[in-house]
Chains A and B, each alone.
Chain A
Amino acid sequence: MGGFQFFLEVLIGGLLSGVMYSLVALGFVLIYKASGVFNFAQGAMVFFAAVTFVGIMELGLPFWAALLVTIGVMVLLGMATERFVLRPLVNQHEITLLMATIGLTFVIEGVAQLVWGVGVRRLDLGIKDVPLPWLADNTGIFISQLDIFAAAVAGFLVATLALLFAKTDTGRALRAVADDHAAALSIGIPLKRIWALVWAIAGIVALVAGMLWGARSGVQFALVFVALKALPVLIIGGFTSVPGVIVAGLIVGASEKLAEVYIGPSVGGGIESWFPYVLAILFLLIRPEGLFGEKIIRRV
C-alpha cells in the first residue's frame, strides 16, 4: 500500500490509541485537580471496576443492570476511600497522601483478586474490534470500530467533565478545594462530600476505561498497567487540565506509534517504552507545568 496511506493509518491509529490513554489519565487529573493527591490507585481502580462489572454479569445480571450495580460499587469505594484514607490524613503532605494511595492500591488489588479470583475474563461490548468495512473498502485504511467508539466515549466524558468543572457550582467547589483545603472548609464547602464525589466520579471514569481496555485486552490483572501509559499524557497535558488530557493523549499516542514504526526498526525496536517519556521531558523543558497545567506560583 502507498507510503502516504500507510502513514495516515499509523497516524490515525496513534491518535486513537492516544484517546484510550487519555481516558485513563482523566481519572488521575480529576482527583489531582480536586484533592491535590496523585492517585496511585487509579490503575487498580480500572482493574477493579472492570472485573467487578464482568463478575456481576457472570452472576447473571444483564448488561445495564450490571453497569448500574458496578457504578454503585465504585461510588461506595469512593466514599470508603474518603472516610478511611483521606479524612484521617487531611492536610498532610502530598507525599504522605501519595503513599496512602499506594496502600490503597494493594488493598484494592487484593480485594479484587480475593472476591473475583485471578481468572481471565472476556468482555464483550457488542462492538467488534475489526476494521470499519466501508473505510477499508473505499480507502484501504483500517480503523477499528472499537477505537472509534472509544474515541466517541472519551470525547463525551471529557466534554461533560470540562463543563462540570467550569460551569457548575459543584465544579467551582471542586476547584476551590483543590486550591486550598483549609480555605475551602472555612467558607463552608463540605469537604467530605466533595472528596467522596470526586473519587466516585474518578471511579466511574475508571470503569469506562476498564470496560474499553478490557474489551481489547481481556479483563485481567494486567489492566493495572494501563496507568503507566497514562503518565506521559499527564506530564505533557498538565496534571490539572481536563481538556489538556485529550490533547496530550493525542500527541503521545500519535508520536509513540510514528516513532515505533519509522524510527524503531533502525534501533532494534521496542522504543515505545521510553519514547513518550523523553518526549514529555522535551515538552516540560519548554513548559515546566505541562501544556495546559496551572502555572505554579512560588513565593519566596
Chain B
Amino acid sequence: MFYREAGQFRTSYAQDSQIFPLRQDRLAMIALLAVAFLLIPAVASDYWLRALLIPWLIFSLVAMGQNILTGYAGQLSLGSAGFMAVGAFACYNLMLRVDGMPFLVALVLSGLCAAAVGVAFGLPSLRIRGLYLAVATLAAQFFIVWALDKFGWFKNYDPSGVITAQPMEILGYEFASPQAKYLLVLAIVAGLALLAKNMARGATGRAWMAVRDMDVAAEVMGLPLMRTKLQAFAISSFYCGVGGALFAFAYLGTVEPSAFTIDLSFRILFMIIIGGVGTILGSFLGAGFILLLPILLSVVFHAVVGQAVDASVVSAVELIVFGSLIIIFLIVEPHGLARLWQVTKERLRLWPFPH
C-alpha cells in the first residue's frame, strides 16, 4: 500500500541510475541519515556511543572491505585483521614522525599503505583460488602481526609494546568527546559506504562479479584478470586499513599488534557471511549481528536472571544461544540478513495483499 511505485516516472538517465529509484526509499534513507547525524548524538548515552555505535560503524567499514574482496570479487580472504593492523600502525607512525600531519591525510595515507600491503599479499590469488586462497591469506595475517610485533620501530620502541593513538584533530578542532568521535566516524563510514556502493554498481563491480562467477570466461571476454583481482585486494585493504586506523584512534585509543588476532579476521568473515555476501547493507547488518548480538544476549540474560544463576553458567549459555541463533538465521535465510531484508521489502511492496 505504501511501498508502491505507481506514478513515479523516471525521465532521465540520471534518475534511472540512482541508488534509490523509489521515492519511499530515498525518504527512508534521508530519515535514517537525519537520525544518525542529528538525533543520535543528541540523545544517545555515552555507553551507546562509545561501546556500541562507534565499534559497530568501524566494523561495518572493515566488513565492507571484506565484502568487496570476498563478496564481490570472490577472493576468499582471511587477512583483514592484518590489514587493519597495517592501517592502525601506519596512521600512528605518520602522525608521529611527520610534523603537522593532518589527521584526514594520515588516514588516507594509512589506507594506501594497507592497500599496498594488500596487493603484495594478493599476488598468490592469481594462481590459487577458493578455500586454498583463504588459508594462504592467513600467511598475510600472521606475518603482518609478527612483523609489527617484532620490529620495535613500528611501536616507537615503547617498552610495553603498545601504541597510544594521538588525538584526532581536523582544522584545529579536536575530536575528543564521544559525540564528536561518533560523528567523525559516521561521516567517514557513510562517505566510504557511498563510494563502495557506487563502485559495486559500476563497471568495477561488474568486473569483480564476473571474476567471481567465472573468471576464465571473464578473461576470455577481455577482462584484465590480474588487474581486476589486485584492484579488489587494494581497495578492500584500503577499507580495512582505514577501519583499522579508526579502530585505534576513535575506539580503543591504545593498541598492540597482537590485538589484531586471527580470531578477529574470522569474525570479520563471519560478519559478511551472516550479513549477506556481496552487499553493502549486509556489511552493516552482519557487523551488528556479530558485534552487538552477544552484548544484547548478555544484557538480556543479566536482566532476566540477575545474580540468581552462577555467572559462569550464564556466560556459557550466552555462547550456546549465539551459536544457535547463527544456525537458525542461516536456515531461515541462507543468503544472509541482507537478503532477508530484500525479501521483506518485496513483501512490503505487495502489502496488504499476499501476492
Q: Do chains A and B touch in the complex (CB under 8 A)?
A: yes
**Interface check B114, CB cutoff 8 A:** no
* Residue of chain A at shortest CB distance from B321: A110
Q: Which chain A residues (91-120) contact chain B, with CB distance < 8 Å?
A: 92-93, 95-96, 98-100, 102-111, 113-114, 117-118
Chain A residues with Cβ below 8 Å from B127 are 284-285, 288
Chain A residues with Cβ below 8 Å from B150 are 267-268, 270
Q: Mark A20-47, 1 if CB is under 8 A from B, else 0.
A: 0000000000000000001000000000
B327 and A113 contact, CB distance less than 8 A: no
Chain A residues with Cβ below 8 Å from B270 are 99, 102
Binds B, one of A126-134, A178-186, A211-219, A227-235: A227-235
B124 and A281 contact, CB distance less than 8 A: yes
Given that A89-B330, A106-B323 are contacting pairs, would A290 and B216 also be in contact in the complex, using a CB cutoff of 8 Å?
no
**Interface check A280, CB cutoff 8 A:** yes
Chain A residues with Cβ below 8 Å from B130 are 296
**Interface check B27, CB cutoff 8 A:** no
**Interface check A278, CB cutoff 8 A:** yes
**Distance between Cα atoms of A41 and B92 in the complex (Å):** 37
B136 and A104 contact, CB distance less than 8 A: no
Q: CB within 8 A of B135: which of A105, A280, A300? A: A280
Chain A residues with Cβ below 8 Å from B325 are 103
Give the size category of B's interface with A.
Answer: 35 or more
Given that A118-B312, A300-B214 are contacting pairs, would A271 and B146 also be in contact in the complex, using a CB cutoff of 8 Å?
yes
Q: Mark A275-300, 1 if CB is under 8 A from B, else 0.
A: 00110110011001110000010101
Chain B residues with Cβ below 8 Å from A288 are 127-129, 132
**Interface check B138, CB cutoff 8 A:** yes
* Residue of chain B at shortest CB distance from A113: B316
**Interface check A64, CB cutoff 8 A:** no
A113 and B330 contact, CB distance less than 8 A: no
Chain A residues with Cβ below 8 Å from B214 are 298, 300
* Residue of chain A at shortest CB distance from B270: A102
Q: CB within 8 A of A114: which of B124, B129, B316, B335? A: B316
Q: How many residues of A contact B (CB 8 A)?
A: 50
Chain B residues with Cβ below 8 Å from A267 are 150
**Interface check B139, CB cutoff 8 A:** yes
**Interface check B273, CB cutoff 8 A:** yes
Query: Residue among B135, B150, B214 with the most chain A CB within 10 A?
Result: B135
**Distance between Cα atoms of A157 and B103 in the complex (Å):** 58
Given that A89-B334, A93-B334 are contacting pairs, would A284 and B136 also be in contact in the complex, using a CB cutoff of 8 Å?
yes
Q: CB within 8 A of A274: which of B129, B146, B321? A: B146
A96 and B334 contact, CB distance less than 8 A: yes
Instruction: For the complex formed, measure the closest distance between the CB of A12 and the CB atoms of chain B, giving whole angstroms.
Output: 26
Interface residues of B (CB under 8 A from A): 76, 124, 127-132, 135-136, 138-139, 142-143, 145-146, 149-150, 214, 216-217, 220, 262, 266, 270, 273-274, 277, 312-313, 315-327, 330-331, 334-335
A277 and B326 contact, CB distance less than 8 A: no
**Distance between Cα atoms of A89 and B335 in the complex (Å):** 11
A99 and B135 contact, CB distance less than 8 A: no
Interface residues of A (CB under 8 A from B): 38, 84-85, 88-89, 92-93, 95-96, 98-100, 102-111, 113-114, 117-118, 228, 231-232, 234-235, 239, 267-268, 270-271, 273-274, 277-278, 280-281, 284-285, 288-290, 296, 298, 300
**Distance between Cα atoms of A239 and B130 in the complex (Å):** 11
B320 and A107 contact, CB distance less than 8 A: yes
B319 and A113 contact, CB distance less than 8 A: yes
**Distance between Cα atoms of A61 and B216 in the complex (Å):** 59
* Residue of chain B at shortest CB distance from A117: B312
**Distance between Cα atoms of A265 and B150 in the complex (Å):** 12
Instruction: For the complex formed, measure the closest distance between the CB of B122 and the CB atoms of chain A, giving whole angstroms.
Output: 12
B273 and A106 contact, CB distance less than 8 A: no
Query: Residue among A89, A234, A300 with the most chain B CB within 10 A?
Result: A300
Given that A106-B320, A110-B320 are contacting pairs, would A280 and B131 also be in contact in the complex, using a CB cutoff of 8 Å?
no
